[in-house]
Structure formats: C-alpha cells, structure tokens
C-alpha cells in the first residue's frame, strides 16, 4: 500500500517555513512514505480538489483515500500516528 503525505504550502507562508524542518526529518526516517510538496500558487487546481483553505495543510493518504488532514503547523508525533494509521 502506498502512503503519501501531501504538503500544501506557499513560499510567502511563515508557518510553512516552520513546518519544513519537521517534514524534512520525517522524510529521512519514513523512507516508505512518499512526500509531495505542492505550492498552492502554482497548483491551484490540486489545492481546490483537496479543499485547501489554510496553510500549511498536510494530507496523509493511502490507496483507500485520505486518512488524516492537518491544518497549521503539526508536530512530528501526530504525523507519525497518521502514517501508522495509513499502513506505513
């Protein structure tokens, strides 16, 4: 089963810059999870599809669909629980 974390961000978003080091550390630890960074200014259609209204928004999904959605800066422990729930 494929587990993906979609990171919706923008270059002008201060909280997104706070989120980045947390995600970088997780990406090193969770090699079986795919990490996608989605710039909402460049990929508005994807942001609309996922109904992203605030930044940062993190979406953890697997082959069955969205498992967890986080809005705002999210701690590593919470994201890891979502990875486990998604089957990573």
Active site residue 16: yes
Choose, from 3, 5, 16, 33, the residue flagged as catalytic.
16
Choose, from 13, 46, 71, 73, the residue flagged as catalytic.
13
71: exposed, middle or buried (Cβ count in 10 Å: 0-12, 13-18, 19+): middle
Angle, CA of 78, 29 and 34, to the nearest 5°? 80
Catalytic residues: 13, 16
């Amino acid at each position: 089963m494929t587990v993906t974390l979609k990171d919706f961000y923008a270059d002008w978003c201060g909280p997104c810059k706070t989120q980045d080091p947390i995600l970088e550390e997780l990406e090193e630890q969770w090699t079986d999870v795919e990490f996608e960074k989605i710039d909402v200014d460049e990929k508005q259609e994807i942001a609309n599809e996922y109904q992203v209204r605030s930044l940062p928004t993190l979406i953890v999904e697997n082959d069955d669909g969205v498992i967890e959605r986080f809005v705002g800066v999210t701690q590593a422990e919470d994201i890891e629980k979502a990875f486990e729930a998604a089957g990573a």
